[in-house]
Amino acid sequence: MDLDVRPRTAIDDEHEMPSWPEVFRYFLILGFINVGGPVAQITMMYHHMVERRHWLSKERFVAIMAFCHMLPGPEALQLAIYVGYMKRKLLGGILAGLTFILPGAVVMIVLSWLYVTYGNLPQVNNVLFVLKPAVLGIIGAGIIKLGRAALRNTLLAALLVGAFVGMRFAGINFLLILIAAGLLNLLVVEGWPRLRRTPAMLPMTIGGLAAIFPFADSRWFHMAWLFLKTGLFSFGGAYASLAFLQRGAVTQYRWLSDSQLLDGVALSVATPGPFMLFTTFVGFLAGGLRGAVIATFFVFLPSFVFVLGGVHYIEMVRNNGSIQAFLAGVSAAVVGVIIVVSLDLIPEALVGLPSIAIALLAFSLIVLFKRDVAMVAVGAMVMGILFAVARALL
């Protein structure tokens, strides 16, 4: 399959080249309506880009998604950046990505301000009482999905268990766990002789820098570095970024509590845009508007860099066994890390039998009855509002 996406007179002869206003308008509108998580977002983009607008062929769309699936960060955002680049080169990719994120980021900043200002009101707490256990159920369903995708053999299962034990009981830094898991799987799959002939790979380089980079004294630098690492290693999307921020923003820097972190995730599931926009909420609580901007910029920066910098190297990346082995090991360990963080969040979300029932209901709807995450999130929001109204009337 020809995956070269360098600009020609037309990227695909049978497909149209949209104008700048059309690109801007489409991705901005998409930014407002793309709710429901990556599956719903990608399905919507397929319908519009392939079936209605004919910007892409089905084969090209599938190839792009296969590439984005290997990268850390939200796949729907990366798809938007990629398509923007294909249609309008570098500036088109940047414009598509920014307009895809901007509406949700603005909404999340407004919600964050409302949360800080009115979050202690009983009505708000009653809504969150329903939302938080539902979010925990959604996270549990996400763990099942990630586990099925990541655990392709016994070694990867062992790496998952090792990551869980190392982080939960030995207190090993989870970033070091992810790097070690990737390297171990790479060593086993590729073998030492071949590994010695393999050029230094980008994931290893990034991982090494992330582990040894000296922190500056500035609070804003701490924030920028934490969110940049979150974006760089968010294999598994928002669930992996949740692990980074729980350990960094909550445990290490104490910018917010576990309960507030869950509140941010609860708000993000009902907000347009990537689930990872809960990082905007974390940034706002840590440093106001400036913190929200820093968090949003740095957590999504790797997606722009990886996609725009890798469009000419898709085949090399997809066919490089060393890179694939490293990423497979990291992905398996990520599941173990997310399980640890989920256990830490249980006391904040499950405070009685009703909350346990809500979490189990959300989990069952997604895993057993194959309901969409968006439907479950909206249903939980409606239940929360009805519960708050009922409590106010009684």
The pLDDT-based confidence of 339 (bands split at 50, 70, 90) is very high
pLDDT for residue 375:
83
In this structure, of 255-269, 296-310, 313-327, 375-389, the range with the lowest mean pLDDT score is: 313-327
Closest CA to 178 of 335, 341, 336, 333: 333
Better pLDDT: 202 or 268? 268
Q: Compute the distance between CA of residue 245 and CA of residue 295 in angstroms, rounded to an integer.
A: 11
In this structure, of 115-129, 202-216, 290-304, 361-375, the range with the lowest mean pLDDT score is: 202-216
Asked if the model's pLDDT at residue 13 lies above 80, the reply is no
pLDDT tens string 54-83: 888 888 888 788 788 788 889 889 999 998
pLDDT for residue 363:
95
Asked if the model's pLDDT at residue 362 lies above 90, the reply is yes
Asked if the model's pLDDT at residue 327 lies above 60, the reply is yes
User: Which whole number is the average pLDDT over 278-286?
Assistant: 97
pLDDT tens string 214-262: 445 578 999 999 999 999 888 867 788 888 899 999 999 999 999 999 9
Asked if the model's pLDDT at residue 14 lies above 80, the reply is no
Asked if the model's pLDDT at residue 5 lies above 60, the reply is no
Phi-psi region of 111 (alpha: psi -120 to 50; beta: other; left: phi over 0): alpha
pLDDT for residue 6:
41
pLDDT for residue 199:
46
Better pLDDT: 253 or 324? 253
Asked if the model's pLDDT at residue 336 lies above 80, the reply is yes
The pLDDT-based confidence of 189 (bands split at 50, 70, 90) is confident
The pLDDT-based confidence of 266 (bands split at 50, 70, 90) is confident
> Residue type for 388, please?
A
